[in-house]
Amino acid sequence: MDELIKNLVETYGPSGFEWKIRALIRDEIEPYVEDIKVDAMGNLIAHRPGDGDGLKVMVAAHMDEIGLMVSHITEKGFLRFTNIGGVRPQSLMGSRVQFSNGTTGVIYSEKLESWAKLHPLNKHYIDVGATSREDCPVEVGAAAAFLRPFVSQGNRWIAKSMDDRIGCAVVIEALKEIEHSINEIYFVFSVQEEVGTRGALTAANALQPDVGLAVDVTLSGDMPETNTIAVVLGSGPAIKVKDSGMIAHTGLVNQMKLRAEEAKIPYQLEVLEGGSTDARSMQIAGAGSAAGCLSIPTRYVHSQSEVVDVSDVKNSVRLLSDLLSKPINL
């Protein structure tokens, strides 16, 4: 699984610019599905028909990542930028980014009056080695993704864009494991989640699923003076009960708990006070669906060094594949 995750997390794909990561995922899953398409929004939708009278299930993992977009180029060739998704100033100085044409840039900020304070985004710039606006290798509107290699260290995987390429990896591996299912399953690798779960909303409106299940990351509460959340690395996948955008369907939560207990898969219950996932869009699209989320505990979300536990990821694959292979009783 290491090689798959390395390829996923290191591939360019900020929100709205997902064509490279979409092509990679398509090549990976096409042999295992009945049909596959890209909708007008850019979502990659793979279909597996069911073997009986099961439910129509939409499983969504978003393939976009946070990033930056050039808003202005100075006379001396430095790039001013705006954010794509939840980019935090404290993660910027000294970071590297890459544009779709391969250009690499270094982020720095204007002079600080005090190192105890942070500049906002608009006081930062990207240096791509240009000396003027005319010789700059990128243009206004170009999108950049953060540049950071994947590291496998002991029982931890470390990378940028684990949110949500690790969710994509879980869905891909579960898809490969499922041989038969009573349920009709649509595997959706969604776009533009980081800017408002937009791709999942259009896909759910088109598919009208009975059940909507997001596979995404969640915060971990096991670092010093961190979030008060009852989720830690290494204790199993988290079954979402609530976040700031949705309350999960009780029947689906109970079904996930039951499948985990039957298969002796460790799990945690997640109540997230801030943030939401594609599950919110699936829950309220069209006539609505029974929605929930399978979450992978992650440290340092929306930084360039997000950390997950190998056992949590592998147990997430087991739980997802077991849930989808069997009847879902709500």
Q: Give me the domain span that covers residue 73.
A: 67-146
In a domain, 39, yes or no: yes
Q: Are residues 126 and 42 in the same domain?
A: no
Q: What total of structural domains would you count in the chain?
A: 2
Predicted local confidence at residue 204, as pLDDT:
98
pLDDT at 116: 73
Q: Domain for residue 151, yes or no?
A: no
Q: Whole-model pTM?
A: 0.95
At which of 146, 178, 194 does a domain end?
A: 146
- Contact of 143 with 17, CB cutoff 8 Å: yes
Q: Which residue has the tokens 């404290």?
A: 90
Claim to verify: residue 220 and residue 288 sit in the same structural domain: yes
Q: Do 141 and 173 reside in the same domain of the chain?
A: no
Note the pLDDT of residue 123. 92
Burial class of residue 225 (count of CB atoms within 10 Å of its CB; 0-12, 13-18, 19+): exposed
**Residues 194, 50 share a domain:** yes
User: For 30-161, where are the alpha helices, taking DSSP H only?
Assistant: none
* Pair 140, 231 in one domain: no
Q: Domain containing 49 — which CATH number?
A: 3.40.630.10
Per-residue pLDDT of the chain (330 residues; tens, 9 = 90+): 899 999 999 999 999 999 999 999 999 999 999 999 999 999 999 999 998 888 999 999 999 999 999 999 999 999 999 999 999 998 899 999 999 999 999 999 998 777 777 888 999 999 999 999 999 999 999 999 999 999 999 999 999 999 999 999 999 999 999 988 999 999 999 999 999 999 999 999 999 999 999 999 999 999 998 878 999 999 999 999 999 999 999 999 999 999 999 999 999 999 999 999 999 999 999 999 999 999 999 999 999 999 999 999 999 999 999 999 999 999
CA distance 224 to 222: 7
* Whether residue 77 is found in the same domain as residue 133: yes
Give 224's contacts (C-beta < 8 A, 6+ positions apart).
none
Residue 184 within a domain: yes
Q: Which residues are catalytic?
A: 193
Q: How far apart are CA 164 and CA 193, in angstroms?
A: 9
The pLDDT value recorded for residue 52 is: 81
- Per the DSSP assignment, residues forming a β-bridge with 35 are 47
Q: Collect all residues with Cβ–Cβ distance below 8 Å to 246 and sequence separation of at least 6.
A: 276, 277, 279, 280, 283, 291
pLDDT at position 117 is 78
Cis (ω within 30 of 0) for the bond into 164?
A: yes
